[in-house]
Structure 1
């Protein structure tokens, strides 16, 4: 039987609203051996069972897996049911079994009722990232369920070494849970666009799937324009712009590895003659560049991962967007993003407003952007909506 965590009186309301986090300050007492990564039963002060979840020491003490007195323990059936539900949602979105797209997110943590678990699918390979000790310990069951749910799955790669809490899994190493690497370049397709993906050594799981819809939007505006893609990583926006008919595309990232992948992806379009890539600091590049662009993409990594860093992050967004607005030609478009979960859409928009004022350029909002449907947000966990973006027309 799982250990039991009893909440303090009055601290059960968030769970009754199905919010998936139990904070340490809400815990009244613990019964049984409570071990990091193990399943615990959570009950109200009056003894009513509220659900089950994974325990971890720290601010978020329990990440809930199921709710109510009949909550299901995470056995093999649980995992297969949850992953099948997630897969069927992606089927309904038209992301599985299509000729034009074979890369998508299968599970988006709390958005799919699986806090701490990210699974991205690249063709016939699933890449798993555990962000909690509980999900890390569950990898064998998760791998078995994936094989039962996804047709023709060739391999499952575990890339949790960088994401699982270090104390929970000392010495964790990435590697294949099922199958093995093909030894060949991995090329996947998104809306018909080819991309070389390196899930073994690349950032995150290998590709920023969350910008798929926003890349498609950019393609509508790219024809005939001079495009600058900053923090380009593997050049997703760059490839879309090239294939949409951009006059030229410049890609900038401080990582030489990212620039190599960007250049490879530009080559896959067959339009690399219109592309140039620069392994430079973005701020330095924009400061020193004499080029004015008709369309600029600002898609930096998260400037803040904790509330304590939010103020500095907002100052960073203001500085970056002011530089971008100054660099853009009159009548140009700015695609600007924040993936910092602790920075709300309202705060981000305020930082961009301050940047436009500082740059002295009038601008209008054409689009407000967010993450795609395979990165769903639970109605009970609004914190899951992390990506926000704006498209500005700059005068």
Structure 2
């Protein structure tokens, strides 16, 4: 007999959870549990009644169950402390790094980035929201930060029935300041900037791409705060131009370039429109183009349109690259798998009538660990390509 605090998979559904995936969707279970279980731990069993583990439950979410452990555990202060300790132990010592990456670190819905003496926390599940005080206390105890900023303003919180809010552990305001990441100083507003304040997942790629910049004309499309452009300029690029549609991002990039004493220009522009402008046809070709767009596919239903967008932007870039030029192209949507990205690049190369060789494959860094049984934990992928 399955206890009332257990979920059971439907008999005719091939749920990924039966094969190791940590999620169960609402349409995969025989019956939902009462709302009193929302934000608490419940067991899950397959269609034959075999135990799949304990996980956090929320009947208001499409993902009703997220596995916490394959063993029977409690989501209490002791569990959270142990999970945080293990997550930190797996990370290299760096002043800026991701400390906790959700399911990959056995804390579904918890993301923690470290910037020097400041931690930036995102809580994206009801169960962790109910234990936010414990999370805060454990992080303060183990890491002793000067401040903890809770950036609970991600749209995904709405899917869990959670409000959007931003606050600090101290209750005060975190003042923007210069912080050093990857050899450069960036003006960061961790409390009110984008995401957790800086895209740490690309910090390895900044240096990788810069190796191809010396003596070249470099275009950094979707430049955000200008990190790729700054690295290229310092590596000896002859000319660097960064494009972004957000005026505040371009302003930040210009400020960062001035602070670090590197020469790079930045413009506010829609990258698609910029490439399609007839004026591009009479301009010199680029030697290195970086495409690091925001996620075009924010849902599985948006993937078809996203593939068209990725093909279009890569095609335009390939058409503007000089012979021997390098294209560094990325996608940060977990809905877009490597085979789909490779297909898009192949189609763009065929339409551009260019021979394209793979120089390097790109991936998210080790402090954003990927679970082999959870494709969604892998979201950043890309290629460095050389065009004849």
Q: Is the structural similarity TM-score above 0.5?
A: yes
Separation (CA, whole Å) in 2 of partners of 1:287 and 1:10: 49
SS in 1 for 2:67: strand
Mapped partners of 2:352, 2:236: distance in 1: 29
**Residues in 2 aligned to 1:28 and 1:110: alpha-carbon distance in whole angstroms:** 24
Do structure 1's residue 166 and structure 2's residue 158 form an aligned pair? yes
- Rounded to whole Å, the distance in 2 between the matches of 1:206 and 1:350 is 32
Aligned match for 1:114, one of 101, 107, 111: 107
* TM-score, length basis structure 1: 0.89
Distance 1:346 1:44, change over 3 A: closer
**Structure 1 unmatched runs, 5+:** 96-101
Give 1:253 deviation, angstroms: 0.3
Checking the alignment, whether the CA contact within 8 Å between 1:155 and 1:179 is kept in structure 2 is: no
- SS of the equivalent of 2:208 reads helix
| Structure 2 spans left out of the alignment, 5+ residues | none
CA contact (8 A) 2:61 2:159 kept: no
**Which secondary structure does the structure 1 equivalent of 2:272 belong to?**
helix
Are positions 1:66 and 2:55 aligned together?
no
- Structure 1 position 214, deviation (Å): 1.0
Q: In 2, distance between residues paired with 1:235 and 1:382?
A: 29
SS of 2:366's equivalent?
Answer: coil
**Correspondences of 1:56-205 after superposition (within 5 Å):** 56=58, 57-68=60-71, 71-90=72-91, 93-95=92-94, 102-150=95-143, 152-166=144-158, 168-169=160-161, 171-178=163-170, 180-183=172-175, 185-205=176-196
Check the 8 A contact 1:53/1:66 in 2, yes or no.
yes
Provide the TM-score with structure 2 as the length reference: 0.91
TM-superposed deviation, 1:88: 0.8
Q: Does structure 1 residue 26 correspond to structure 2 residue 28? A: yes
Alpha-carbon distance in structure 2 between the residues aligned to 1:340 and 1:205: 17
How do 1:329-340 and structure 2 match up within 5 A? Answer: 329-340=322-333
Q: Secondary structure at the match of 1:369?
A: strand
2:304 is equivalent to residue 311 of structure 1: yes
**Which residue pairs with 1:42 in the alignment?**
44
How do 1:269-288 residues align onto structure 2 when only pairs under 5 Å count? 269-271=260-262, 274-288=263-277
Counterpart residue number, 2:289:
296
Distance 2:159 2:261 in 1: 46
C-alpha displacement of 1:178: 3.9
1:265 to 256, 259, 268: 256
